[in-house]
Structure 1
Amino acid sequence: MGGDRMSRLFTSKYLVRLLIFSLLIGTVPVVTLGTLSFIRAKDSVQQKVNDSNMQLLQQTQKNVEQVLQLFENLMTQYVSTTLVREALQTSITERNFEMLNELTAGLNKMQPFELGAKNVYLANLKHGWIISNQGYSKLEDSSMSKAVQSYFQSSAASYWTSVTLQDQKDSPTAQSVSHDPASGVRLIKKLPLNSPNTTGVIIGELPAYSLEKLVFNESADRETVILDRDNRLLTQPEGRVIQSSEELNHAIESINKSDNKDRGYLTFKTHNETIGVMYLSSEYNGWKYLSFSSVSDITKDSRAIGWYTLYVSLGVFLVIFFLSWAGSKRMYSPIQRILSFAVSDQSSNDGHIKDELQFIGDHIHSLRSSQTELRDQLRKHSKQLEAFFIRRLLQGEIRPGETRERWMQFSYDSEPAQFGVMTVQIDTIENTRYTEGDFDLLMFAVNNIVGELIPATQRLEPVVMVNNQVTICRSGIEEGNDYGNDLYRFAERIQATIRELLNLKISIGISRLYTDINDTPHAYKQSLEALTYRVRFGEQVILPFDSVLPDTRIAAAYPDWLEKELIEAVKMEERDKARDILKEFIQKVLGDYPRYYDFQMAMTRLLIDLIREWQEAGETMNSLQASGKPINEHLLELKTAEEIEEWIFHDVIEPMMAALHQRWESQNKKISERMLDMIHKEFESELTLELCASRLNYHPNYIKTVFRKETGSNFSDYLSKYRLSVAKQWLVETDMKINEIAERLQYHNSQNFIRYFRKLEDMTPGQYREKHR
């Protein structure tokens, strides 16, 4: 029987979860505390070892650099003596034995036992000699010649460099060493010091074993190496931690890839274990000091602490398990009694309900879901009703009594307030990534942005009205509160945000402030009227109604003279002049007609006068309606003065110029052809320009201009030249006398004919006849 009871207990999901939860509450803190204690202990041990290794590494660096700086100071003192400065200016030979002895003695003093210096060289490139601890020789005969030349060509005046095995072999004092790849270091100083004109160099050499004496490598689980600035080994690892050159190369690559290359600690894995590297970079000569240690040796004590923590945690877990089991059974009994009121005894006893709280929760969740769904539907319909109310309010379709009812329905603040209508219009979607089909979506996006930027307490529900986004803003009536400035700041934020998010230019019209909500339709019209003044201010503007509303008490005269000049420029096909006059006309009208509707009437009058000139020229309106709509309707859709100027010039004036040019060209060609025909047929008569004009029914000045434009010559000059060509033909082909020819060609005096003929042909008519017969 006890087994059946136990099995029923474990069929309950709630009881099992309660037991698991109790175990987690008791176990997780213990496991967490043990884990954190182990990690803390491990990190503490690791940190102490790292601090110890760093101190030893810093001590090694200090010892090495003390020796290096001492050696450098000795060399600096030596080369600063008068003897060395004099030697650098002297071509030393074996005869200068006294100077050689003194120089050699100075070099020997730079090799005390505690430094372990190997050799010091003093070389003069100008006079070609070199002196070392072994004596004097010519530079060209010395094995150091190539090294001296390379050091001398370096840009640095003083620096440390490592010595390779090949360098040691080239040296006359080379010894057999096993340190690879560097067998020592050299300090190079160009001479004279601090002078741009160097003539010599001093080279101090320290062997690698001298550096190794200064390195702390007493511990079996740690070893230290030194690298030069080119990552070349200056001290050789003993193999206690670093077993191969691959491990050393891996450590160097890891240091080069780290963010902090001057000092730090990192680890890397080898084939056998994990190795920790503590490193320092010297500011003195750029050498790197590396201390390698085995991480597994360091963490021996940490692992012992970990096992101890694990055993304690297991013991605590067993105690918590028994306590959780007893407590869970006592906490489950009230739940069982509550379930009996929700379900039948048969369902409970059959064990079909495994999770009692879930059964109860499902019913509660179903009830709350129904409640939430109903609330969402009410909220959605309420927003739609509110937006519908705002649209009717803007259009003036709400009675004052209904306004009060809706005000209470939508829970608006009933305190006295001042209102203002803000209307947003998209200036243009041309030259953007949007199309006409995207306009409704853009207006929806603008409406959402406005709703986000203006706090809900300072506005009613934003709505979209045809092509406008409209918001009724409200604020409490407080003394000293200029709500107009607040509206302007809201408009600036809206304009900047839409520009940034949608990459659109918008303009915003703001009505006057009012305190009676029933004045909203009138305020809406004011905001729309303010937007019409974009024709004066251009695109992407904020237009408060009070600021743009002009004083129209003085009626200005229509600029007829500019219109006449414009029409004359169109007739004369003066494109640039017509463009300038049109621009001047629009600016003049903008200045004289402040109200938009007056400006619109003036522009409509100009358009009508241009069309009348067009029709009087015998042209139709078909070519001016290429956009598919009448031009007066198209004019009303334009928003800025620049758009109006561009449209009138390109869609009205330029087509007029083209058509008039074609018509006048055809007409002028006929006039010039008829005048030429008169000249060719009636050259023997007294033909004049006035006579031609009377026959063609045109003014003499007009046909004079047309004839010159078509032929490139004046009428009288062309007539005289044509008569001259006929005279030359008669002189050659006939026996007519010269005075007879002059008389037939309307020269009343033959001398005048002879004089004109000689002027053009450089000979008399008689001479021309003799020459060409």
Structure 2
Amino acid sequence: MQKYSYLTKLIMFGCILCTVPVIFFGILSYLQSSNEIQKQVNRGQIQLLTQMNSNVEQILRTINHAFDQLVNSPVMAKVLSEPFTADDFMLYKDLRKEISNTQSFYTKVEDVVIVNIKQDWMIKNSGFYTFSDYLHHFQIANQMLLPSSTSWVLNPSIWFYSEEKANAAACPYTISLVKKLPDQSLDKYGLAFTNLTTCSLAEILNYTPRESETIMILDDQERILFHSDPGMIGKYAINTEFIKNPSVLSQSSGQYQTEVDKQMYTVTYLRSSYNNWIYLSAISIDSLTQDSKQIGRNTLVVCLIIVAVFVIISWLGSRQMYNPIERLMREVGGKSPGGGGKRSNEFDIISSQVQDLFQSKNKLEKEAQQHLQQALAYFLIKMFQGKVRRGDLMEKMEQFGFSGILSEWKIISVITLQIDTLENTRYGKEDLELLLFAINNIIEEIIPAGVRLPPVFIEQTQVTMIGGDQPSEEFNGFMFKLTESIQQTVHKVLGLEISIGISLPFTDPKLASVAYREGLEALKQRIHLGGQLIISYANINEGKHQLNLDYPYLTESELLDAILLADEDNARQYLSNFMKIIFKHEMPPQEYQISMVRLFTSLMVSMQESGVALNQLMPRGSSLYEELNALQMTTEIEEWFWVRVISPLISIYRDRQNSQYHSISEKIIDMIHKHYDTDLTIEQCAAQLHYNANYLSGIFRKETNTTFSDYLSAYRFNMAKKWLTETDMTIKDIAERLRYLNSQNFIRSFRKLEGVTPGQYRESFRKRGQ
């Protein structure tokens, strides 16, 4: 319901009170003579407009239904999601078929236009176009700015100029049903238009206006879609003489009177609930009420005079009564109700302004509290990091309201909490910050506010200062009980395993940064103790001598050899053995880090000597040393060495071997064939080929399925049989040439392999030749 200012109400009340009796008696005769005629006309006009609305909406709903089937069809989904060009003939043919189903004689659809702005193409009746080359592509693309994904819009027909009807320009405007595509997606990058010419509305309405009657259809922007005068189509309703103020059409239906060319008209309108179009009929009152015309004129003149007089009187009196309210409005900063926009009662404005003042106050208090919490967290982080000057520390504590509880604490400790691992949990690394925030909330619920400062998290560590007035032994027991409760609650609520480090007790809050470092140092004990720990800094190496570790060089050498030979199973076993040897001793975390760095350095040196580039292991450009130093758990360190270094190196060496082994074995065989009659050894081959002898022996065995010495002996034996059958060389000469120490050793070896002596073998061969 429209609201009026209090001043307007006063004036209206005075005018009504003074003029209603006069107006009532003055217009009684006019109403009696024209009332019945007007009623009949009004009812007839409402029925007429209802019928027009029904005819048009039936066509529009049919078009909308058919258009929905088109835009949601599989063909449309395909052309929108996949690259589509003029060369896709079959897809274009299928799309044209779907479009033709939308157009029918009954719906009067003139054209269907599909635009894909992302892929820069447009399809309409006249064919396929590159959208950016189309003359009116900018205007069409602006339809994406429509507030709704489906809209009925009046557009110039020239935007959709069709080459199929190059001479048809009788209808300058088109009614377009615009849908943003894809229909079911939030990311809209296409448009679909189904165009209905405004000229076809006359056929749909199927109505001939009476004399002095004007029929109009307005869209939701109050532009004229249909008019008895076609030249008015496309203009705004305000440009017509029947609608001087669009606010008269604010209801769903109604009637009003207006004057056009000094002639009064009764205007009946009906607003469609489907698309908010307005159907309007204007008929001259003179043509309907000829008999009461004179009475109406006289009554109008008298009423206008009386109303004018009493309006002036009411206005003057009301202004005097309204002055106090106006002053109060200015004090609270309210806008004048008559200043345009939606009018409101002055008392509503005053009430609203007072409520706004209270809301602004509450909002400012809330924002100030949020900023205070952020400043407090920032201060605590700086305090734990040792970046707050000692002189400012207690002053800041007092500003944040902690001086009271600090004065009650006789003993203080800092706990540091870290998540052990996210593996085998439902979380990822991207959830780490959110998990620490959740742990903060758990700590705030478990630890009473009077014995702690607000918890904060620094990088990946949650830090809390806790204090109390108990003796030292009771406080230590309280701390372990409290940390156990935190650990159990986090595991129960979040399903995470955490470790907690407890600093040494202290009394001066200025030592908070030292305590924070002690907590971090305690957490490093996870490297040999495992995860899910609660460990106090006081227990680190308490009463124990440190062990000087003998570095396992042999295991490291075996590991490096297995990697070079691309022996994945042995490499994995040697790595596991190396880790067991290192971590079976209890040492400070720094000692473990030294051993890990030594192993890593040996791997890097071996890799460099083999000609493997470092970027083959680090395609992301990260630092492997930084990754290694960041690891805290034994299992994580072993898995890191295997995944990030050893396994990639084995893959590289295996690829090399597949191409090099065959070549190396062929070179060794060639050397055997050329130098079989010398004291040839695998070491000589290795020296000549510049390889390690054990490495070459392994390669030769892998490629030939036999050892170097067995292959050499077999080849010499074959040469011996050849000389026995093809030459007259003595057995002694053959034995010497094949590097036997004496002929008897050669004879024994030959008999062992062939079952006969060399002489018997030569004799049997010659007998077979005869």
Rg: which structure is higher?
1
Give TM-score scaled by structure 1 length.
Answer: 0.46
Give TM-score scaled by structure 2 length.
Answer: 0.46
